[in-house]
Structure 1
Amino acid sequence: MNRKELVDLVSEQRIPLALYATGQGLERPWATAAGMADEQTGRPMSLDTPLRVASNTKTFVAATILRFWERGLIDLDGPVARLVDPLFNALLTAAGYNTDRITVRHLLDHSGGLVDHTNAPEFFATVLREPQHLWTREEQVRLGAKFSAPLSEPGTRFSYSDTGYILLGDIIERISGTTLAETVRREMGFERLGLATSWWEISEPQPAHVEPRARQFFGDVDATGISASMDLYGGGGLVMSVRDLATLFAALFEGRVFDSPDTLREMLSQGSHDGAATYRLGISVDTVDGAEVYSHLGFWGTAAYYAPAQGIAVAGFAIRREARDTLVSVIRRLLAAEGWHG
């Protein structure tokens, strides 16, 4: 595939998309963007258009925990009971969760049996009815505990849980003594990597001279103005450009985040629970044309991939939730292409 074919591939989708590919396998980045970031103002999508990346945030929350682990600040296989806010521990215990058996690793790989509070019907009903409602960590943990008893015994089955990542966000703040936003920024090296269009909503101001966020949609709902507090505390929270997301993904997999290569190996290690084959510690695993790739998706329409065999990181944005499958298809076609050149 050459650069013109990449541009044509994105353009033929006839939806707003942005793609950025970088990594040690490329002499220079490949990138293209098409369509409008905001049709109302006529503002086009660009490589530096920021979007809410939602669950793409989880990868960097997990990596921050692993940064703590490599410095001996946390035991991945230690119980969360004494690490989380005592109120959260009490809420979970009252709902039947054995927090003395749920470990940090279980939260990272979604095997702790924790409910996902976003599956509670009243969660999205409130989001749509009261888009400016200011959610708190406590409110979301309380909602999850109220919604469901444990889904499984700890360490036995994969069950995706935003609530688990809220607990990880709380643990990060309690260990670091600073905000989740500040800690992730420092541990991931945002400034060192030159991530000029990335910030944590509410906790941090939008950087100067950065263009406005793209409008993002969920079906017919313009979700752009929904309070960021709905997805802020570890399961989501970051706003990034496609350039920054790909750059950070490449840095993570190419040895520019962790102090030791053993830490990345730990992050990618497979558990023994049911469903462990497709999700590790904050990262999904799959194959493209028989070659292993690592990835994560974001709810609103974002995706990031790293292909170790090629040394290529690709991040992509679509502004509509229902276009995410198309975006993933484009990225997978891109990674499967032979003869990157031009």
Structure 2
Amino acid sequence: MPGLFAEVRDGEQVWRGAAGVADVATGRPVGADMRHRVGSITKTFTAAAVLRQVERGRIGLDTPIGRYLPGLVPGERGEAVTVRMLLNHTSGLAEYLPHAYSSLRAFPALADTGPQSLDDHRFTRFEATELIELGVAAPAVGTPGGTPGLYSNTNYLILGLLLEEVTGTTAERCITRDVIERAGLQDTELPTGPYLGEPHSRLYESWFGMIDPPRDYSVYDMSWVGPAASLTSTVTDLNRFFGMLLAGEIVSPSSLAQMRRTVPVVSQEGRTIEYGLGLHPMEAPGRETFWGHGGTAWGAGTLAMISADGRRRMAVAVNLQRWNALDSSGRPRPHPLDEALAAFHRAAMYG
């Protein structure tokens, strides 16, 4: 792992730490103040923005998406898939990413052992509608509302279009106004271009050992995930955001209660987890439950968690992704980094 940086809070006590380098060529050290791509933690911000519109009466959680965006999800599914199902991944809509590879040649597949598709699309701008169409056209992965759901970025791209429809502005501007600015986050944004704000680390992608040595993808247009996973932030901003969210200062307490209503969902790693509306719980047997989200982007990994009472918070970022080699069945093999990070998470959350 080239570099790791984190912030842990326990009440008024704050610890920030960093180890390793932000650039393997120069040895420039990482710092706890660095901006970082936080991947699917974006979903919590998008979900909060949707709940803010629910509170204003512009969106109904249990209203079919076809009422707002006719034809986007065609046929009976448009009347069966509700906003809540998009938020908690029980819509039955497939993930568009595998189909984006086969039809757009935009993203690497496990069978593709080279990084060429990543390099070719550093500066490509994708339209959300073309990506959504791929997920909608793919075979359904479940019935609307059925459990377990299947985690799918398609759901959150649709929610981005929903925000645009009901607010008359872009999803990025809506989330910025209603969530990022409301929380007073100074170093958090939804970028509209390929560049990270300073200071930031280089972000090294290994793609399961197929990119050797790992290559820097810190410059990358994130329109391929948009309101599902494109956010950039800092560990300090993430802890502030989740603290305010669980205190009922971003959405109302009743909206927060909706966000914490969970259903079983199969994650992208194939594990069944409990998932709410852009939030999921993390707990160890006999230990306190934490709420939050994790995320990955090319070369960037982040996890943010907060105790149910809001007292203990943790946000940690790493600048290497997919370091595991794959076994013969295509599953990532265990790696010492996995246990090292798990040990850090346990210490940060439980002391």
CA contact (8 A) 1:155 1:273 kept: no
- Counterpart CA distance in 1 for 2:346 and 2:20 is 21
CA contact (8 A) 1:318 1:327 kept: no
Instruction: For residue 143 of structure 1, report the CA deviation from its aligned partner.
Output: 2.2
Give the corresponding residue for 1:261.
Answer: 253
Give the corresponding residue for 1:119.
Answer: 98
Q: Do residues 176 (structure 1) and 167 (structure 2) align? A: yes
Give the corresponding residue for 1:280.
Answer: 276
Aligned-partner SS, 1:46: coil
Candidates 178, 182, 191, aligned match of 1:187? 178
CA contact (8 A) 1:112 1:152 kept: yes
Q: What amino acid sits opposite 1:307 in the alignment?
A: S
Q: How far does the alpha carbon of each residue in 1:302-339 deviate from its partner, in whole angstroms, 9 at most, with x for none?
A: 111011246212111011123684435412332122xx
Stretch moving more, 313-322 or 266-275: 266-275
Do the aligned partners of residues 206 and 192 (structure 1) sit closer, same or farther apart at CA in structure 2, a change above 3 Å counting? farther
Q: How many residues align?
A: 310
Q: Do residues 229 (structure 1) and 212 (structure 2) align? A: no
CA contact (8 A) 2:163 2:174 kept: yes
Stretch moving more, 309-318 or 321-330: 321-330
Q: How far does the alpha carbon of each residue in 1:236-277 deviate from its partner, in whole angstroms, 9 at most, with x for none?
A: 12111111112111111122212x311111110134889996
Q: What amino acid sits opposite 2:7 in the alignment?
A: Y
Instruction: For residue 173 of structure 1, report the CA deviation from its aligned partner.
Output: 1.2
Give the corresponding residue for 1:38.
Answer: 23
User: What is the 5 A alignment of 1:303-322?
Assistant: 303-309=303-309, 311-322=311-322
- Counterpart CA distance in 2 for 1:204 and 1:15 is 22
Instruction: For residue 175 of structure 1, report the CA deviation from its aligned partner.
Output: 1.1
Do the aligned partners of residues 36 and 277 (structure 1) sit closer, same or farther apart at CA in structure 2, a change above 3 Å counting? closer
Do the aligned partners of residues 170 and 327 (structure 1) sit closer, same or farther apart at CA in structure 2, a change above 3 Å counting? farther
Instruction: For residue 28 of structure 1, report the CA deviation from its aligned partner.
Output: 2.9
Stretch moving more, 270-279 or 135-144: 270-279
CA contact (8 A) 2:264 2:274 kept: no
Aligned-partner SS, 1:134: coil
Give the corresponding residue for 2:35.
Answer: 50
Candidates 170, 191, 205, aligned match of 1:217? 205
Do the aligned partners of residues 274 and 136 (structure 1) sit closer, same or farther apart at CA in structure 2, a change above 3 Å counting? closer
Q: What amino acid sits opposite 1:241 in the alignment?
A: T
Query: How large is the Cα RMSD of the aligned pairs?
Result: 2.6
Q: How far does the alpha carbon of each residue in 1:166-196 deviate from its partner, in whole angstroms, 9 at most, with x for none?
A: 00011011111112121111111x3454422
Give the corresponding residue for 1:74.
Answer: 59
Instruction: For residue 286 of structure 1, report the CA deviation from its aligned partner.
Output: 2.4
Q: How far does the alpha carbon of each residue in 1:283-315 deviate from its partner, in whole angstroms, 9 at most, with x for none?
A: 111213432111211123111101124621211
Stretch moving more, 238-247 or 159-168: 238-247
CA contact (8 A) 2:41 2:295 kept: yes
Aligned-partner SS, 1:17: strand
- Counterpart CA distance in 1 for 2:201 and 2:164 is 27
Length-normalised TM-score, structure 1: 0.82
CA contact (8 A) 1:127 1:230 kept: no
- Structure 2 unaligned spans of 5+: 109-115, 324-336
CA contact (8 A) 2:8 2:348 kept: no
CA contact (8 A) 2:247 2:310 kept: no
CA contact (8 A) 2:2 2:22 kept: no
Q: What amino acid sits opposite 2:242 in the alignment?
A: F
Q: How far does the alpha carbon of each residue in 1:99-123 deviate from its partner, in whole angstroms, 9 at most, with x for none?
A: 1000000000000001001133425
Q: How far does the alpha carbon of each residue in 1:188-229 deviate from its partner, in whole angstroms, 9 at most, with x for none?
A: 1x345442211111169966xx42454242433432233222
